[in-house]
Copies of this chain bind each other. A is one copy, B any other.
Amino acid sequence: MYIKKQRLLTPGPTPLYPPALQAMMRADMHHRTEDFRKVYRACLADLKEVMGTSNDVLMFAASGTGAMDASVSNLFSKGDKVIVCVAGKFGERWADIVKAYGLDANVITVPYGHVVKPEQVERALQAEPATKGVFVQASETSTGAVHDVEAIGRAIAKTSAIFVVDAITGLGTMPLDIDGWGLDVVIGGSQKAFMVPPGLAFMSVSPKAWKLGDTSNLPHFYFNLKKEKKSGDAGESSWTPATAMILALGEALLYIKRIGMADLIKNAQMLAQATRAAAAKLGLEIFSTASPGSSVTAIKAPAGMDSGVIVKEFRDRFGSIIANGQGSMKGQIFRIAHLGYFDFADLFAMIACLEIILNANGHPVQYGTGVAAAQELYAQAAVKSLK
């Protein structure tokens, strides 16, 4: 037996920022105190800053799905006509949520790996002028594809519909001009580019979204956006907050502000680009060629190889957890994450391990060639940002 460090290389949970983890040890504090209010207020303000929006930002003790649920139950009404873009497993989740609340959904489905085109949304909006909202994933984690939310937002802005964006893996991995592009609701989660464990969801809410919410008639209790906004303004959460998680997030946000959100995104983009270059060199195909994003790169397993073998070999040989395909893509693709606390050294190691696994499982590659492709990308692109 040799030493195998456990490495979390999945698109959430992602590798944790150590000082954020350490900050959880400070949770021996009561949440209805000025000490904690200071932490909570800073978190909300820093979230708003790194998200780059003037919209309200709310936070919940919940996973990202909780905020997705909240956006529907708080802003829409039974029978509302909505458009749901489905390009993967998380698009399907939007469809499930709006169905659970009895909305009247026009579900635009494209095959896994593809994305819904802005024109498709535009046509659907024209076909149904009473549309109240459009739901999309900025980045579809299950396939690694990204939607053109800027163009979709432009189409929606001309209508009375609101634009609800699951940016859970989009935030910190792609530019998202929330105010400029008309992204009325933008949802994020702690265990993604924010570098802390799962347990916190957050969302920004635009005036247009608040206005629609005024007429909402759907039942909800725990997820109450208006109440949460009022609580947040007072430096509190409506219910008991996940104090340790918020301390962790606060610490991670300080780090993200220090790096700068633009460079955090650039970091993921460089790693994704280097991963695509390495994959090409190793004779592997990217799953979503049409619109590959930078939160995660989905790569097709070589012909005749189950991607589960690659996932298993990463764990057994190197102690590393990488993601298999989800849903119908299980066994077909494996996914390499770039979002949040990932660096080039992580990537070099991961590619070297992948080369060994491919060689040992019937897909011969020359050792070091994939790594070299990533190194070349680093040398070209990253050197500029040295200081």
A331 contact set on B, CB distance < 8 A: none
Residue A109 CB within 8 A of the other chain: no
One of A72-80, A129-137, A151-159, A339-347 at the interface = A339-347
Q: Which secondary structure dominates where chain A touches chain B?
A: helix
Complex-state Cα separation, A349 to B7, whole angstroms:
13
Residue A270 CB within 8 A of the other chain: yes
Contacts A1-B259, A1-B260, A386-B316: A375 and B356 contacting too (C-beta < 8 A)? Answer: yes
One of A29-37, A51-59, A91-99, A317-325 at the interface = A317-325
Least CB distance, A24 to chain B, in whole angstroms: 10
Complex-state Cα separation, A259 to B4, whole angstroms:
10
A342 contact set on B, CB distance < 8 A: 3
Contacts A25-B25, A349-B345: A3 and B264 contacting too (C-beta < 8 A)? Answer: yes
Tell me whether A375 and B368 are in contact (CB under 8 A): yes
Complex-state Cα separation, A127 to B370, whole angstroms:
60
Tell me whether A317 and B371 are in contact (CB under 8 A): no
Residue of B nearest to A314 (CB): B345
Of A318, A367, A369, chain B has the most CB atoms within 10 Å of the CB of A367
- Which of B3, B344, B374 sits near A343, CB closer than 8 Å? B3
Of A318, A371, A374, A387, chain B has the most CB atoms within 10 Å of the CB of A371
Tell me whether A263 and B2 are in contact (CB under 8 A): yes
A 4-18 contacts with B by CB, 8 A? 4-7, 18
A341 contact set on B, CB distance < 8 A: 3, 5
A385 contact set on B, CB distance < 8 A: 1-2
Residue A23 CB within 8 A of the other chain: no
Tell me whether A346 and B2 are in contact (CB under 8 A): no
A 224-262 contacts with B by CB, 8 A? 259-260
Contact string against B for A residues 261-292, beta-carbon threshold 8 Å, 1 for contact and 0 otherwise:
00110110010000000000000000000000
Complex-state Cα separation, A319 to B267, whole angstroms:
15
Residue of B nearest to A369 (CB): B368
A320 contact set on B, CB distance < 8 A: 345
Tell me whether B318 and A5 are in contact (CB under 8 A): no
Complex-state Cα separation, A366 to B4, whole angstroms:
28
- Contacts A/B (CB < 8 Å), 16 sampled: A2-B267, A2-B382, A2-B385, A3-B259, A3-B341, A7-B345, A316-B386, A319-B343, A345-B349, A345-B350, A348-B352, A352-B352, A356-B375, A356-B379, A367-B375, A371-B371
Given A2-B385, A352-B352, 6 more pairs with CB closer than 8 A: A3-B264, A3-B342, A349-B349, A352-B371, A356-B379, A368-B375
